[in-house]
Amino acid sequence: MPSALSHFVHFGFRDVNVGVKSLSAFALIGLLILFLRARPPATWVGYAIAVVVLGIVSPVVGITPRLLLRDFVLLGVVGARLPKFWLEGVLSLSTLRLAALTVASGSPWWPP
């Protein structure tokens, strides 16, 4: 992970995979802080930490948006604590990004 982060700092988004993994790592840090401030039950903390650790030690997976989706406990607790205005904004942006990715993945310029 440190090599991916240093690669991202030096080269930016020239390699999209490294950029996405680096941004996911930053998002994960913020989510973990908000998650632990919410003081969820110990079993939820254990699950969230286990998913993160498995992603970190995996040479294939790493910290990616897909890993963050697997950590639904982390996202659920943070999402439940968002104010209603922010939650609606986050859901709206997520919907728009999903629609844009759906259209883009069907185009001949960006095959899945």
* Lowest mean pLDDT across 11-20, 45-54, 58-67, 81-90: 11-20
Whether this model's pTM surpasses 0.85: no
- Beta-carbon contacts of residue 33 (< 8 Å; ≥ 6 apart): none
For the stretch 50-84, pLDDT in tens is 998 988 888 777 788 888 888 888 888 888 888 88
Residues 47 and 96 in one domain: no
C-alpha to C-alpha distance for 67 and 76, rounded to whole angstroms: 14
Domain that holds residue 60: 2-81
Asked whether the predicted pLDDT for residue 112 surpasses 60, the reply is no
Residues 60 and 107 in one domain: no
Work out the number of other CB atoms within 10 angstroms of the CB of residue 87: 13
Looking at residue 87, what is its pLDDT?
82
Asked whether the predicted pLDDT for residue 1 surpasses 60, the reply is no
As given in the structure block, the two tokens for residue 42 are: 């110990």
Residues 42 and 56 in one domain: yes
